[in-house]
Amino acid sequence: MIFSCLTLKSSYRALSVRALLQTAVVIPATLFLTLANSNAERAAHVDPGTLVQSLDKSGKLVTCAAHPRTGKGVLVEPRGSGYVATKSAARAGCSSFNQLRRNRGGSKAVSEKSLRLGVMAPSAVVSLAAAQLDRFTFALLEATNLAGQARATGTLTQVSQSPLQYQYSPQPTDRLRGVQLDGTVYEFVLQDIQGDFSFGVTNFFQADHRLVFQAAEVGSSNITVSDIQVDGVRTIRVTGSGMFDGTPLTVDVTGQGRDVSEITYRTTLTGTITGDGIAINLSEGTDTAAWDMGYGYATKIQKVYSRRINTSWTVGGTKFSLRNGSIAGKFKSGAPIEYLDPSRWFAKGILSVNGKKAGQLRLVRKSSGIGVVLSAGKVSLVLQSWGL
- State which residues of the chain have pLDDT below 50: 1-44, 89-91, 103-108
Question: Distances in Å between the alpha carbon of 77 and those of 26, 39, 114, 304, 387?
Answer: 16, 12, 19, 29, 19
How many helices (H) and strands (E) would you count in the chain?
A: 5, 21
The kind and range of the H/E element at 52 are strand 52-55
Question: Distances in Å between the alpha carbon of 57 and those of 60, 62, 94, 370?
Answer: 7, 10, 10, 11
Q: Are 231 and 216 in contact (CB under 8 A)?
A: no
pLDDT of residue 296: 57
pLDDT of residue 300: 73
pLDDT of residue 197: 81
Q: Are 357 and 375 in contact (CB under 8 A)?
A: no
pLDDT of residue 353: 94
pLDDT of residue 72: 77
Per DSSP, what are the bridge partners of residue 66?
Answer: 73
pLDDT of residue 78: 67
